[in-house]
């Protein structure tokens, strides 16, 4: 088993002059990338006295210098704590106190703290000697936002990184010939994972930063002969809104797209399939703790577009009851996953607390789901978000999926609220982002033929937008506040 860092080193030897990174007019070969990472490691040790196991907070902007320092911290024996440049003071304070970093690097927009520019860490020519990392050592700590908003420090080891990259590359079928456009934030598991996936295979990464500029997005696609990219469903909505069907012009160029796991209307999936008939369009299911534990590919699963897919390569998935017993096929329960990609620990939490998130070695995702006889997984809801209507369980996603098909409704989220009559315990309330010309009565009339009576919302509330995490997952529990 070779770490991502060792694979990066080997790529610098096998094809030293191959372009590893592109950012605007700047192109960096694999041997240059490796040398800059070693310079960063040297400076971290000698200028900032970084010791093995020390934490470094990186304000993770999507630039080349971040990449050098990110791998440089690992090569120096440190632990990376990537955070969003727009992290607020409260969240930063929590992360800073929890990790007690030796230094803070990059630029923070909403926090008044002294930071070290990435450029200072890669200045000079002295290079550190490369030492293989202990695969069980913590490489990164990622603080999740989560659907409840409570931050949790998820520790990921070098072994976790290597296993996840292997699983992802195997399913997507990535190769050294890939040229990937990165417009995802590198402060989160999805974007950071794409960086590791590309470099582990010896591909080329084109750093864009965001999807905000469609002219630049498509310009880089054409200029760099991009063969793939990752996005969340919200990114696709933006691309479609700003450019229509233009992405179809790249149908013969795009080999793959990886899509993050949050709600995506079936109509959007079908449209992407139509525009990109030869592209491998992959959608993953996972979390920071268990990156990309399941995958589905649109074209090969065209008759099962509502599924979260099968277990990823080298992953195992089982459904467990609340008392930790494995459930038979077709029975609803908690989705649990097993594999070397699963987090090694929670930062600053006891082993007993960490162990409570496992059933018989399987990580408890907190997601209620069903697995059919073919191995397909169908998500129902977060277990904490299930609505108990007179003893009958209602999955918010089931109601939302139908709400989102009604003309005039762009998105929705459902929660349980106390029954006003005090009979059923809870009833369903729907928050909707909708046009003014569609009435609550019309919505209810369209729901009645498609849902059992107890699943029908008893109240509707119109809001400007549905609260989501930075990775696009609905924060239903925040709607209860």
pTM summary value: 0.87
As given in the structure block, the two tokens for residue 448 are 């009645």
The average pLDDT across 50-54 equals 97
Contact indicator for 227, 256 with CB cutoff of 8 Å: yes
Q: Give the pLDDT confidence score for residue 147 in this predicted structure.
A: 46
Contact indicator for 15, 175 with CB cutoff of 8 Å: no
Q: Give the pLDDT confidence score for residue 385 in this predicted structure.
A: 85
Same fold, 4-377 and 386-480: no
The average pLDDT across 82-108 equals 93
Helices vs strands, H then E, count in the chain: 13, 25
Q: Residues 6 or more apart from 459 whose CB is under 8 A from it?
A: 417, 427, 429, 430
* Percentage of the chain modeled with pLDDT above 90: 79
Q: What is the band of 471 on the pLDDT scale with cuts at 50, 70, 90?
A: low
User: Angle 64-70-74 (CA atoms, 0-180°, nearest 5)?
Assistant: 145
As given in the structure block, the two tokens for residue 216 are 């630049």
Q: What is the band of 244 on the pLDDT scale with cuts at 50, 70, 90?
A: very high
Contact indicator for 464, 471 with CB cutoff of 8 Å: no
Q: What one-character DSSP code corresponds to residue 436?
A: T
Between these two residues, 458 and 391, which has the higher pLDDT value? Answer: 458
State the chain's mean pLDDT as an integer: 93
pLDDT in tens, 202-236: 999 999 988 999 999 999 999 999 999 999 988 99
Whole-number Å distance between alpha carbons of 29 and 316: 37
CA 469 vs CA 61, 92, 342, 472: distances in Å: 18, 16, 21, 5
Q: Give the pLDDT confidence score for residue 92 in this predicted structure.
A: 93
Q: What one-character DSSP code corresponds to residue 325?
A: P
Domain boundaries, the chain: 4-377, 386-480
Going through 119-246 in order, the beta strands assigned E by DSSP cover 138-144, 152-157, 179-182, 204-207, 228-231
Phi, psi of 132 (to 5 degrees): -65, 130
Contact indicator for 473, 444 with CB cutoff of 8 Å: no
The average pLDDT across 347-372 equals 94
Tokens 């995506």 belong to residue: 264
Tokens 């590791």 belong to residue: 196
The average pLDDT across 437-454 equals 92
The average pLDDT across 126-136 equals 92
Contact indicator for 444, 450 with CB cutoff of 8 Å: no
Between these two residues, 401 and 147, which has the higher pLDDT value? Answer: 401
User: Angle 96-290-333 (CA atoms, 0-180°, nearest 5)?
Assistant: 120
Helix, strand or coil for residue 423? coil
Q: What is the band of 262 on the pLDDT scale with cuts at 50, 70, 90?
A: confident
Q: Give the pLDDT confidence score for residue 150 in this predicted structure.
A: 59
How much of the chain is in helix, strand and coil states, percent to nearest 5? Answer: 30, 25, 40
Q: Give the pLDDT confidence score for residue 307 in this predicted structure.
A: 93
Q: Give the pLDDT confidence score for residue 142 in this predicted structure.
A: 96
Burial class of residue 449 (count of CB atoms within 10 Å of its CB; 0-12, 13-18, 19+): exposed
Instruction: Pick the closest to residue 468 from 232, 282, 291, 266 (CA basis).
Output: 232
- Judged against a pLDDT cut of 80, whether residue 149 lies above it is answered with no
Domain 386-480 top-level CATH class: alpha beta
Q: What is the band of 148 on the pLDDT scale with cuts at 50, 70, 90?
A: very low
Q: What one-character DSSP code corresponds to residue 477?
A: G
Q: What is the band of 424 on the pLDDT scale with cuts at 50, 70, 90?
A: confident
The H or E element spanning position 378 is strand 377-382
User: Angle 468-474-476 (CA atoms, 0-180°, nearest 5)?
Assistant: 110
Q: Give the pLDDT confidence score for residue 470 in this predicted structure.
A: 67
- Judged against a pLDDT cut of 90, whether residue 376 lies above it is answered with yes
- Judged against a pLDDT cut of 90, whether residue 395 lies above it is answered with no
pLDDT in tens, 10-48: 999 999 999 999 999 999 999 999 999 999 999 999 999
Q: Give the pLDDT confidence score for residue 415 in this predicted structure.
A: 93
Instruction: Pick the closest to residue 143 from 434, 411, 303, 349 (CA basis).
Output: 349
pLDDT in tens, 294-319: 999 999 999 999 999 999 999 999 99
Least confident of 91-95, 137-141, 200-204: 91-95
- Judged against a pLDDT cut of 70, whether residue 335 lies above it is answered with yes
Q: Give the pLDDT confidence score for residue 34 in this predicted structure.
A: 98
Whole-number Å distance between alpha carbons of 168 and 16: 25
pLDDT in tens, 97-130: 999 999 999 999 999 899 999 999 999 999 999 8
Q: What is the band of 480 on the pLDDT scale with cuts at 50, 70, 90?
A: confident
- Judged against a pLDDT cut of 50, whether residue 341 lies above it is answered with yes
As given in the structure block, the two tokens for residue 108 are 């923070």
Q: Give the pLDDT confidence score for residue 146 in this predicted structure.
A: 52
Q: Which fold has domain 4-377?
A: Rossmann fold (3.40.50)
Q: Give the pLDDT confidence score for residue 151 in this predicted structure.
A: 78
User: Angle 2-6-7 (CA atoms, 0-180°, nearest 5)?
Assistant: 80
């Amino acid at each position: 088993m070779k770490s991502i860092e060792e694979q990066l080193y080997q790529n610098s030897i096998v094809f030293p002059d191959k372009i590893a990174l592109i950012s605007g007019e700047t192109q960096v070969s694999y041997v240059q990338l490796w040398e800059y990472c070693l310079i960063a490691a040297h400076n971290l040790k000698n200028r900032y006295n970084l010791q093995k196991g020390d934490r470094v907070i990186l304000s993770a902007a999507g630039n080349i210098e971040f990449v050098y320092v990110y791998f440089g911290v690992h090569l120096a024996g440190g632990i990376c704590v990537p955070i969003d440049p727009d992290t607020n003071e409260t969240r930063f304070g929590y992360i800073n106190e929890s990790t007690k970093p030796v230094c803070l690097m990059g630029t923070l927009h909403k926090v008044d703290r002294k930071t070290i520019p990435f450029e200072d860490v890669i200045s000079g020519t002295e290079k550190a000697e490369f030492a293989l990392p202990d695969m069980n050592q913590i490489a990164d700590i990622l603080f999740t936002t989560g659907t409840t908003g409570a931050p949790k420090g998820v520790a990921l080891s070098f072994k976790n990184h290597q296993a996840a990259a292997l699983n992802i590359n195997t399913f997507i079928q990535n190769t050294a010939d890939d040229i990937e456009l990165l417009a995802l934030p590198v402060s989160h598991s999805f974007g950071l994972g794409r960086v590791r996936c590309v470099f582990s295979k010896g591909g080329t990464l084109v750093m864009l930063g965001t999807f905000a500029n469609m002219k630049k997005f498509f310009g880089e696609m054409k200029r760099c002969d991009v063969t793939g990219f990752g996005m969340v469903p919200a990114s696709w909505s933006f691309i479609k809104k700003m450019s229509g069907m233009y992405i179809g012009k790249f149908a013969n160029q795009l080999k793959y797209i990886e899509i993050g796991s949050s709600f995506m209307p079936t109509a959007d999936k079908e449209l992407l399939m139509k525009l990109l008939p030869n592209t491998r369009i992959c959608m993953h299911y996972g979390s920071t703790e268990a990156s990309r534990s399941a995958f589905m590919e649109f074209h090969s699963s065209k008759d099962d577009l509502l599924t979260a897919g099968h277990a990823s390569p080298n992953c195992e998935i089982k459904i467990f009851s609340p008392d930790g017993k494995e459930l038979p096929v077709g029975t609803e329960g908690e989705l649990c996953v097993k594999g070397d990609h699963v987090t090694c620990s929670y930062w600053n939490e006891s082993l007993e607390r960490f162990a409570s998130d496992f059933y018989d070695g399987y990580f408890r995702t907190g997601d209620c789901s069903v697995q059919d006889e073919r191995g397909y997984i169908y998500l129902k809801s977060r277990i904490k978000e299930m609505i108990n209507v007179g003893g009958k369980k209602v999955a918010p996603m089931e109601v939302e999926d139908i709400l989102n098909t009604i003309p005039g409704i762009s998105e929705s989220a459902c929660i349980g609220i106390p029954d006003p009559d005090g009979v059923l315990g809870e009833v369903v309330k729907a928050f909707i982002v909708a046009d003014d010309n569609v009435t609550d009565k019309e919505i209810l009339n369209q729901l009645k033929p498609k849902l059992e009576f107890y699943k029908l919302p008893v109240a509707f509330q119109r809001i400007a937008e549905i609260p989501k995490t930075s990775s696009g997952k609905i924060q239903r529990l925040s709607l209860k506040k």
